[in-house]
A = this chain, B = another copy of it.
Amino acid sequence: MWTVNENTFDPSSQHHKETIFTIGNGYLSTRGAFEESYPGERRATFVHGVFDDVPVAVTELANAPDWLPLNIFLNGEKFSLVTGALHSFERSLDLRTGILTRRVRWTSPSGHTATLTFERFASLADQHLLCIRCLVLPEFDGQVEFRAALNGNTDNGGIVHWRWLGQGLHTLPNGEKAAHLLTRTRKSGLDLAMAMQLVTDSPLPVEFWDAESIPTLRLNLEARAGQPVSVTKMVGVASSRDTAEPVARALECVAVSSGWDQALEAQQQAWSQEWERSDVIIEGDDEAQLAVRFSLFQLLIAAPRHDNRVNIGAKALSGFGYHGHAFWDTEIFMLPLFTFTAPHIARNLLDYRYLMLDAARAKARQAGYQGAWFAWESADTGEEVTPVWVPDSRGKKRLVRVWTGDLAIHISADIAYAVYQYWRVTGDDDWMAGQGAELILETARFFASRAEWDASQEAYVYRDVIGPDEYHDRVNNNAYTNRLAQWDLTAAIQVAGWLRQNHPQKALALFDKLGLDDGQFAHWQSVADRIRLHVRPDGLIEQFDNFFSLVGVNLADYEPRNRSMQEVFGVEAANDYQVLKQPDVLVMQYLLRNEYSEEAIRANYDYYTPRTDHSHGSSLGPSFQALVACMVNKPEEAYEHFILAARADLRDVRGNAGDGVHAASAGGVWQAVVFGFCGLQVDETGWTVRPRLPRHWKRVTFRFFHRGQQQVVSVPDK
């Protein structure tokens, strides 16, 4: 189960298919649009960190110049699925190697037939290299023409980010010709260069069309029926984020490549190493098997291997949704995969937060707080890029205020949690001393300053926040937020002690820089001790103040439905009901699972599960719902939620996969298998498993690194 396939061409699922046939290499990803284009496509390539701002929109990943164009002309007639007759269509993505293949047999309007095979990949061995090969098997005698272009005229749903800077033709050291295109983002001023070469066996010359912003290489070959002809388009890409000379770098990339076969071999080798680190084998459930590998693939192609100034957006690099912004989705949902299977990638992602510390400090300071308050949505600078107002679907004169950027303070604790988990699992003391400790201390400082003393309750409270359940905004004392804040304060005190003991010089310098002393730590402890948490004697935790007084709802009464309960009630009114967008208390209990008994978890599971909009609420919900179901020993119920998450992209169960993959759900799928069904528990000294597999699963084999040593685990034990 390594391939995602389709055997028919259905334009109505175009955007969904573009998403799931995305290829990438951790430097960029390219959606599965066709080389020759198709009407209505959402064609896109996103390069990590290449953000741009425009006056009318938020900062977003700029849809990069398009490297895909490779048009085929059969006796002068342009190949297109819009015209002519399509006899067969197959597309498959090989997850094991990252190669996307499409095979089409087509007859042109005037009757020339050929089978066309397109293959493409973004090299994992050299992240600046992209390759397309097209093989044409004509069933006629005549001409087959290839036109390969780099197209600088791309946009993000109507927003144009690029300005043409220049282009040209070059002779490579080996005597071949290559063309380049250089563009610059309009506001952020980043330069992006692409270079291309058309590799062919033919002795015929490649013609160059120097048309502005779309340099084109053209090759016209003699076609004989039954004799295949092929070209390979090798593309190099580099930006001013990588090098001072992007054009030279892009050209060098195609110059040193020795064609398709060699690049393919390197690709296969690089991917084999990836899977060696991270593969999960599920025996007895082909759908789950493919879905888990697909989830891993999506995260692996979005994971920065050579850059610690970028993060992974909510849609990874696979679509326009959420503009490439990073959320808590990274730390809570995606990062564990990397922490456990690819710590070097986890470190890059955590480094990103470290590099954004000053922006987080500025955000806290501007709001009157201390420490580091990270942006709810984060892009290149770490400034808050959550949109403040969005248009209301009900009319142009109405705008809806988006509060998460102002109130979803739990993001700072989520980051601290991920830092601590990384440290605990990897034992990377150097990084903890150098970067991690500062992240934990600064976020704790924020929570200490954000807490308000409420004399009537004799407790520290966090008023006017939004927790993970975003159906309820502007609430007081969200349990997730308060409990994670408490955890952060406590962890900070512990880390401070560790640092003082093991790296006294660093501790001194850091405490001095941050203005920390024992008085501060004592105050933190005092805040942590008195943070308000409403826990009933039976262990049930109130999600926020007065949640128990809201209107109860029997969700079954609203079935069947195809929209969220927030849409059913309206954004404002949804606040009044006991309906959750995603489990809120349960996620907290999962994160702090060592601190809760199974009974305490079960009390909350039983209460909140029927009150959660599993099908149309947050896509983050089902995987974690499955995790918690495993924790309360309900693997079959867990599987129902798990499979909902597993199908989010492959089956487009939410109807929005066209906007990009559900990256948090993908990370949650891996966690559900490893921490849920297999029950992996890790601490400084070792690990245990506690399998609770669904009945039809025969065996699960997964891999992870514990303190630098790879562990390969099968459950049930072989």
Contacts and interface: CB of A to CB of B under 8 A. Distances in A.
Interface of A: 54-57, 69, 147, 149, 151, 153, 155, 157-161, 186, 209-216, 388-389, 391, 396-397, 399
24 contacts: A55-B157, A55-B158, A56-B56, A56-B158, A56-B159, A69-B212, A147-B210, A149-B212, A151-B212, A153-B153, A153-B213, A155-B155, A158-B159, A158-B160, A158-B186, A159-B159, A159-B160, A160-B160, A211-B211, A211-B214, A212-B216, A213-B214, A388-B396, A389-B389
Given A56-B56, A155-B160, A209 B209 contact: yes
Contacts of A157: 55
A57 B391 CA distance: 11
Contacts of A158: 54-56, 159-161, 186
Contacts of A155: 155, 160
A67 to B, nearest CB: 14
A263 to B, nearest CB: 26
A44 to B, nearest CB: 14
Interface centre among A151, A158, A186, A209 (most CB of B within 10 A): A158
Across the A-B interface, the 5 shortest Cβ-Cβ residue pairs? A211-B211, A153-B153, A209-B209, A54-B158, A155-B160
Contacts of A159: 56, 158-160
Task: Say what secondary structure dominates the interface of chain A.
Answer: loop
Contacts of A399: 389, 399
Interface centre among A69, A155, A211, A391 (most CB of B within 10 A): A211
A467 B615 CA distance: 52
A158 B158 CA distance: 8
Counting every copy of the chain, the complex holds: 2
Nearest to A147: B210
A232 to B, nearest CB: 21
A489 to B, nearest CB: 29
A54 B160 CA distance: 12
A152 to B, nearest CB: 8
A164 to B, nearest CB: 9
A155 B213 CA distance: 14
Contacts of A210: 147, 209
Contacts of A186: 158
Contacts of A391: 55
Contacts of A54: 158
A530 B153 CA distance: 61
A210 B211 CA distance: 9
Contacts of A69: 212
Contacts of A56: 56-57, 158-159
Contacts of A389: 389, 399
A709 to B, nearest CB: 48
Nearest to A399: B389
Given A56-B56, A158-B55, A209 B216 contact: yes
A397 to B, nearest CB: 5
A348 to B, nearest CB: 29
A585 to B, nearest CB: 31
Given A158-B159, A159-B160, 14 more contacts: A56-B57, A69-B212, A147-B210, A149-B211, A153-B153, A155-B155, A209-B209, A209-B210, A211-B211, A211-B215, A213-B214, A388-B396, A389-B389, A399-B399
A389 B161 CA distance: 23
A615 to B, nearest CB: 27
A255 to B, nearest CB: 23
A638 to B, nearest CB: 40
Contact of A388 (B213, B214, B388, B397): B397
A149 to B, nearest CB: 7
A379 B154 CA distance: 27
Contacts of A151: 212
Contacts of A57: 56
A215 B161 CA distance: 22
Nearest to A207: B209
A209 B216 CA distance: 9
A388 B397 CA distance: 6
A63 B530 CA distance: 61
Contacts of A212: 69, 149, 151, 214, 216
A159 B156 CA distance: 9
A463 B215 CA distance: 61
Nearest to A387: B396
A160 B63 CA distance: 13
Contacts of A55: 157-158, 391
Contacts of A214: 211-214
A667 B590 CA distance: 71
Nearest to A54: B158
A55 B390 CA distance: 11
A232 B149 CA distance: 29
A211 B388 CA distance: 41
Contacts of A160: 155, 158-160
A375 to B, nearest CB: 13
Nearest to A157: B55
A57 B157 CA distance: 12
A19 B647 CA distance: 55
